[in-house]
Amino acid sequence: MTDTPPDHLSTNPRSPHFDMEVLQRGIGIRFKGKERTDVEEYSISEGWIRVAAGKSKDRFGQPMTIKLSGEVEAWFEDATADSGDEGGEA
């Protein structure tokens, strides 16, 4: 696998940008310089993320989302965890 996360990824299984293998690796998202853990979908090239709008649901029972624009950075969390574990074992 590559060490570069996909440009566009979604946590919703109904989305065409959903990828279970990538999500299982763990993705970290930094939006406007702050790490976010509540991101439902992101696009690095277009510069936006989608986050849930509280507990609101649409008529199909899916969470309502808000699209926020800004600088988006993504990385694989398992790569950073592996680096930290190797240093601690010695």
What's the mean pLDDT in 1-26? 91
What's the mean pLDDT in 49-72? 95
CA angle 59, 64, 65 (to 5 degrees): 150
Instruction: Please give the pLDDT value at position 1.
Output: 54
Residue 3 lies in a domain: no
Within 13 Å of residue 5, how many CA atoms lie on the same side as its CB? Answer: 29
What's the mean pLDDT in 63-82? 88
Give the count of domains, the chain: 1
Tokens of 8: 């566009």
Residue 28 lies in a domain: yes
Q: Rounded to 5 degrees, what are φ and ψ at 76? A: -85, 125
What's the mean pLDDT in 18-39? 95
Residue 2 lies in a domain: no
- CB of 11 within 8 A of CB of 45? no
Q: Higher-confidence residue: 54 or 79?
A: 54
85 pLDDT higher than 70:
no
pLDDT grade, residue 3 (50/70/90)?
Answer: confident
Residue 22 lies in a domain: yes
d(CA 32, CA 70) in angstroms, rounded, equals 6
Instruction: Please give the pLDDT value at position 22.
Output: 93
Residue 84 lies in a domain: yes
Residue 56 lies in a domain: yes
Residue 20 lies in a domain: yes
Give the predicted TM-score (pTM) of the model. 0.81
Domain range for 57 is: 8-89
